[in-house]
């Protein structure tokens, strides 16, 4: 998938709809940018799990620490800016 976006004078970018859907992000969500040898990776940062409120129910030995690992969806952007 190849998409383009323009950077405003304030450094803001509108992420194309297809990319937002693929990452599962909405207004107010956080993104993490990580650079490596191939380019920049964009990750949707999730604070916890949707199942966190059920931690320990039915399995007394499993505590809340299990749910603090968080979830992330990753989208890689190549060195040329391609998705």
Q: pTM for the full model? A: 0.53
Listing DSSP states for 10-32 in one string gives: TS-BPPPHHHHHHHT--TT-EEE
Q: Coil, strand or helix: which one is 52?
A: helix
Task: Give the tens place of pLDDT for each residue, 11-61.
Answer: 999 999 999 998 888 898 899 999 999 999 988 888 766 666 666 666 555
| Distance in angstroms (rounded) separating the CA atoms of residues 73 and 13 | 19
| Distance in angstroms (rounded) separating the CA atoms of residues 55 and 48 | 11
Domain that holds residue 71: 17-78
Q: Is residue 83 one of the residues assigned to a domain?
A: no
Rounded to an integer, the average pLDDT of 2-18 is 93
Q: Coil, strand or helix: which one is 73?
A: strand
Q: Coil, strand or helix: which one is 34?
A: strand
Q: Is residue 11 one of the residues assigned to a domain?
A: no
Domain count, the chain: 1
């Amino acid at each position: 998938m190849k998409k383009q976006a323009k950077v405003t004078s304030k450094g803001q970018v509108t992420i194309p709809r297809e990319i937002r859907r693929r990452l599962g992000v909405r207004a107010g969500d956080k993104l993490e940018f990580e650079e490596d040898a191939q380019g920049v990776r964009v990750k949707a940062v999730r604070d916890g799990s949707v199942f966190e409120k059920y931690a320990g129910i039915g399995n007394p030995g499993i505590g809340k620490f299990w749910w603090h690992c968080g979830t992330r969806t990753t989208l890689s952007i190549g060195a040329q800016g391609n998705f």
